[in-house]
């Protein structure tokens, strides 16, 4: 019996044994066949991509941020994680091959598959090569699709917070995008922002590192209301919103590219690869063929990018959102001085709002006074100038008094918008003119890459601000038949902010330049100058904006007797926007140099600018410069063209 069982087992083993080898063999053959099929499909896709030269397609270059430079093409993205090929930063063909191969990689736990790392590349290649998703290990980026289903994006708006003079990176303004969803109001939209990451607090290092590209710039997504509060309420910046007429497919492409730029950095340069320039890549990705990034010069100013977007026909409705400080100033300007004082007393807690409301004033005047007090309390709290306990008590008191006064005759939000930034003069300026130094005539050419001078037409710009970089003047002295560099303003920034009962800003300036200084022997030589100052400014409805500043002055030059001189003194001036087309600036400055070369430098003058068109003006200038007890009169007329 045991022998029969043994025989049966032997027979079973003999029959099963081949099967044990056969199954793996079939599996291996099937896998080999599948692998061969996969390899064959992948090779066919690569062959088709190379045949169609997709790596030369402008849209592929947009997705990889490739630009031609002095030393050949390269991606402006500097994060190695953005590239799959070792030489992907400089070789779009290698990066395309690596991307196509990566689509066939098996999914790994804890890692994002390339389909999800680069969903915009995947969608574009899928469309151009008709890729069969069923033959890929990861046929789609599920997290991105879930995100789209969750937020249901509907439209995109370009946001322009105006300039913030106390931040070097924001002096030209800033741009960001918001994505409006089907579920929320505009204020609950998502804001897409690109900015440099830094904790640098020392101003000079901050500027130097920004100029040299030593910061890393990242895209981020935040609730729009948080950015709005930061810009509008804390930084006192008016906001302009430009809705973009992107359709659903274009919004999706924009978000696909944004998704693959998460946690990816590029070196941030203040004047070229900055917030506004990198934002244009998202719009280029949204609408193939735009190529907005190709329209930018080496010097990218946010306002210029808005004009390019407008020129491309993308801009629809435009909305103005005044800052909290603008709202306070507007309300204050509509009240007599006594009511402005009452509003301040309410905000300071020195006057009970209900007691004020019971007084015998016109109802509308009382409403605007209490509204002003409430706005100013909100402003102080957002600026952290008021503790929460005091804010809550006073603000609620103002609201209670306000509710007892009924409806206002005019809505509080009806603040007339100022000139639109995109309709102001362009950023670059060339000027041609002539003039006299005493009775010696000269001709002059000036070139200024950026941006806005105090005397320029202020429509669309922050009043009382000046930001000038690299303004160079070349003069031809006709009697001497000499062509010379007259001056070059490296940086010339002025912020004249008027003080009033509600706001106490400090006005300031900094100028560093090369200028032609007259010496005691009668000769003129180029001298380096650093001239900072600070002071106060006030507004008078009749006279205009006037200021008074304390200044220091450093001159360095080999032609000086001791090669340097340092002085201090003051300046005063009056700026008046006389009409919509005529600005004038009357000024005087006296500086006493008592270290190094000793001298007294006095200058006074009148500058006038007449607007001819949006990008054309004529300026007239009369100056008196006194040095070595000798006064020299100079006059000039210039034709200015902004481009």
pLDDT tens for each residue of 570-614:
999 999 998 889 999 999 999 999 999 998 999 999 999 999 998
Strands in 176-181's sheet, in edge-to-edge order, are 266-268, 215-223, 190-197, 176-181, 153-161, 239-244, 315-321
Q: Is the pLDDT of residue 22 over 90?
A: no
pLDDT at 5 (0 to 100): 43
With cut-offs at 50, 70 and 90, classify the pLDDT of residue 438. Answer: very high
DSSP 70-93: TTEEEES---GGG-SSTTTTT-HH
Q: What pLDDT was estimated at residue 247? A: 96
The 8 Å CB, 24+ separation contacts for 293-299 are 293/62, 293/67, 298/271, 298/272, 299/271, 299/272, 299/449, 299/450
Proportion of the chain above pLDDT 90, given as a percent: 74
Confidence of residue 229 (pLDDT cuts 50, 70, 90): confident
CB 462 within 8 A of CB 163: yes
* Spatial separation of the C-alpha atoms in residues 140 and 123, rounded to whole Å: 9
To 5 degrees, how large is the angle CA 341–CA 345–CA 350? 150
Q: Are 236 and 325 in contact (CB under 8 A)?
A: yes
Residue 118 token pair: 């680069």
Q: What does the block give as tokens for 531?
A: 């001239």
Taking residues 489-493, what's their average pLDDT?
93
* pLDDT confidence bin for 526, thresholds 50/70/90: very high
Exposure string of 115-124, with b = 16+ CB inside 10 Å and e = fewer, is bbbbbbbbbb
| Residue 333 pLDDT level (bands cut at 50, 70, 90) | very high
Confidence of residue 27 (pLDDT cuts 50, 70, 90): very low
Q: At residue 202, does pLDDT exceed 70?
A: no
User: What's the pLDDT band for 72 if we cut at 50, 70, 90?
Assistant: confident
Q: Mean of the per-residue pLDDT values for the chain?
A: 90
Q: Are 251 and 156 in contact (CB under 8 A)?
A: yes
Instruction: Reply yes or no on whether the pLDDT at 1 is more than 60.
Output: no
Cα 474 to Cα 83, 168, 438, 490: the distances in Å are 47, 28, 18, 15
pLDDT band at residue 170 under the 50/70/90 scheme:
confident
């Amino acid at each position: 019996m045991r022998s029969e069982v043994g025989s049966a087992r032997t027979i079973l083993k003999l029959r099963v044994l081949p099967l044990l080898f056969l199954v793996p063999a079939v599996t291996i053959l099937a896998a080999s066949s599948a692998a061969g099929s996969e390899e064959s499909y992948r090779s066919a896709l690569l062959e088709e991509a190379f045949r169609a030269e997709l790596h030369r397609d402008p849209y592929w270059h947009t997705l990889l941020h490739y630009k031609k430079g002095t030393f050949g093409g390269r991606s402006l993205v500097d994060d190695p994680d953005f590239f799959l090929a070792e030489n992907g930063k400089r070789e779009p063909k290698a990066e395309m091959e690596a991307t196509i191969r990566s689509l066939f990689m098996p999914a790994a736990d804890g890692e994002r598959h390339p389909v999800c790392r680069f969903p915009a590349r995947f969608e574009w290649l899928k469309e151009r090569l008709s890729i069969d998703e069923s033959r890929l290990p990861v046929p789609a980026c599920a997290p991105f699709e879930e995100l789209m289903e969750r937020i249901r994006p509907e439209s995109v708006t370009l946001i322009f917070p105006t300039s913030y003079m106390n931040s070097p990176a924001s002096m030209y303004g800033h741009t960001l995008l918001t994505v409006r969803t089907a579920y929320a109001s505009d204020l609950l939209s998502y804001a897409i922002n690109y900015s440099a990451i830094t904790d640098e607090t020392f101003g000079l290092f901050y500027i130097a590192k920004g100029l040299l590209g030593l910061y890393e710039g990242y895209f981020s997504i935040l609730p729009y209301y948080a950015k709005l509060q930061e810009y509008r309420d804390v930084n006192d910046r008016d906001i302009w919103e430009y809705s973009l007429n992107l359709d659903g497919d274009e919004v999706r492409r924009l978000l696909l590219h944004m998704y693959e730029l998460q946690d990816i950095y590029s070196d941030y340069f203040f004047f070229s690869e900055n917030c506004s320039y990198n934002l244009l890549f998202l719009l280029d990705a949204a609408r193939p063929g735009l190529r907005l990034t190709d329209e930018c010069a080496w010097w990218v100013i946010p306002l210029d990018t808005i004009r390019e977007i407008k020129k491309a026909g993308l801009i629809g409705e435009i909305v103005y959102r005044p800052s909290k400080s603008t709202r306070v100033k507007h309300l204050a300007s509509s009240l007599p001085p006594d009511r402005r004082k009452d509003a301040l007393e309410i905000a300071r807690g020195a006057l009970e709002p209900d007691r004020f409301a019971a007084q015998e004033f016109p109802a509308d005047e009382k409403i605007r006074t209490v509204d002003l007090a409430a706005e100013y309390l909100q402003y102080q709290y957002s600026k952290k100038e008021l503790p929460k306990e005091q804010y809550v008590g006073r603000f609620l008191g103002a609201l209670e008094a306000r509710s007892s006064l009924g409806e206002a005759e005019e809505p509080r939000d009806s603040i007339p918008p100022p000139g639109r930034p995109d309709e102001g003069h362009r950023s670059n300026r060339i000027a041609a003119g002539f003039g006299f130094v005493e009775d010696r005539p000269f001709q002059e050419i000036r070139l200024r890459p950026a941006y806005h001078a105090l005397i320029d037409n202020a429509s669309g710009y922050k009043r009382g601000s000046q930001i000038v970089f690299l303004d160079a003047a070349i003069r031809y002295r006709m009697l001497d038949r000499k062509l010379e560099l007259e001056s070059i303003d490296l940086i010339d920034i002025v912020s004249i902010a008027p003080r009033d009962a509600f706001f106490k800003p400090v006005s300031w300036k900094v100028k560093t330049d090369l200028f032609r200084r007259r010496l005691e022997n009668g000769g003129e030589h180029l001298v380096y100058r650093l001239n900072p100052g600070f002071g106060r400014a006030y507004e008078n409805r009749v006279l205009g904006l006037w200021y008074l500043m304390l200044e220091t002055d450093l001159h360095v030059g080999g032609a000086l007797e001791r090669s340097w001189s340092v002085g201090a003194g003051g300046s005063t001036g009056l700026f008046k926007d006389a009409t919509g087309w005529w600005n004038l600036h009357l000024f005087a400055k006296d500086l006493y140099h008592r270290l190094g070369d000793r001298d007294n430098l006095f200058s006074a003058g009148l500058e006038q600018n007449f607007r001819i068109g949006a990008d054309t003006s004529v300026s007239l200038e009369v100056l008196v410069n006194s040095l070595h007890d000798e006064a020299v009169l100079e006059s000039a007329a210039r034709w200015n063209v902004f481009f």
